Structure 1
Amino acid sequence: MYTQCPDCRTVFSLDASVLAHARGAVICGNCETLFDALDTLAEQLPPEPFRLLPGHTRSEEAPKLEVAIYRPREDVPVAVAEAPAAPAFTPGFVQDRRAARKLPRRWPWVVTCLSLALLLAAQVAWAKRDVLISDPTIGAWLRQACISLGCRLPLVRDVHRLHLVARDVQAHPSVPGALMISATVRNDAPFTQPYPVVSLTLSDADGHRLAMRRLHPSEYLDDAAVLRAGLAPGASAALLIEVADPGNRAVAFEFGFE
């Protein structure tokens, strides 16, 4: 069989397998044009010289084939002809077990994913524990949950909610050349705070700094149990600090919390 490219007019030889491969769509090997080989399909070439192969018009109705040259025989299988196979009987519980084995076991993956998600949430919560405990709503839930479970939340520091409600400075009653400074600090946060680092600054009348000292909680509190418990919400603590007397030049002192 033969067909012709509609662009470059090149005639090609082809067989039924090529036509069936893409239902007549072929590519010209000369000009790379995609065309339908069925439009100019011919069993024989016309006498030379010729320019175009005759074209075919498409019919709306499919032609009916009348001349049959071969029909394969439908052979009956020997096993079916001699003795039909008896229907197999499988007990119901065996079928249920087979069906159960075919079902994919997804629960291990579900449990693993949930465990990883809970672990990730716990890590994020621990990294953001100060923010969560300081939050008025979430912190209240956490404290209530800890009370029910018998656990204890870590102490969170927020020095902006520590307020100095009283302070006094006087000569040390038993140590010459020393001062005794007392102060009362109150925790206005809704959660327990660790005792802060106290910074004490002594200044002269012109505001010039004469001395400064930073005291850690263990330096002004001797009770280890009180230090571990922290400063409860709304509670106040009295601080006693002993410092060397810088002389008559020190007329002002200032407290700070870190």
Structure 2
Amino acid sequence: MLYTRCIQCRTIYQISAEQLRSGRGEVICTHCNIIFGALENLGETPEEAAEDHSSCILELPELGANAVAVKPEDQAPKEGKGKTQAGPFQTEPPPKPNIEQEPQIKPFDADVLLSMGAKEQEKDEAEARARLYRTLATAALAILLLIQLFVYEKDKLAQNPSFRPWLESFCGMVGCSLPPFRNLAEIKVVDRALYPTKNSVEGYQFHLVIVNEAPYPQPYPLLKISFSSLDGTPIASRIFKPDEYLPPDHPPLMPSHQLIFVDLNLAAPSKPVGGFSFEFLE
């Protein structure tokens, strides 16, 4: 059994090593209700616990007006004698601390230490729950942001080769669908031509052969045809939808590695035509 002393009222308590561990070295005085470190005045006997371990600082007396300085050789031991002369100052041992009351030995209440340990444990558990709630809230916000991004930018993200495999896996789990993948760079021109019409109506016949070189079917593009004058100035243009430049029985998607023939009759613009151009649009 060990003993410790309250630093304020100096009451001595019996305490065990197990109680010290459970309270992490801190105890509550049942007299003055303060928390103090039990290890500071810990002892194996009540007398050791009652001792004051604070250091005493000695002050030297001030020198008077008639004080004479002592030379170092005056303090050296005289030859033939085993004693030394005393210097001008002598210090007395510090007085023992005055204990106002006799120490009282009382058995320490183990419930106090247990309650302190329980409070520390509850505090740690509360902090752990707070961290868990913050983590869950952050994860929920991140998931909500991803869902909003998917809903509003799904069609655009589906055309990105880096994101599409992830979106396909996600849609496979939730049962959604993605728009067909589109890559205009994979549509190649095999032949093109612009001829004047052979009938009496003044106009032009536009002929185009294209092929989808992508390894997958993709939507048909929009087709924009432009006329320009002899000096290259644009004079007319029009955008055709797939239903306007394809036959009625065309497949819903542009097949892979299959020739697509386009033939259109175009009215002649009001100005002479010097050239033409076309481009594919999404």
The TM-score, its normalising length taken from structure 1, stands at 0.47
The TM-score, its normalising length taken from structure 2, stands at 0.44
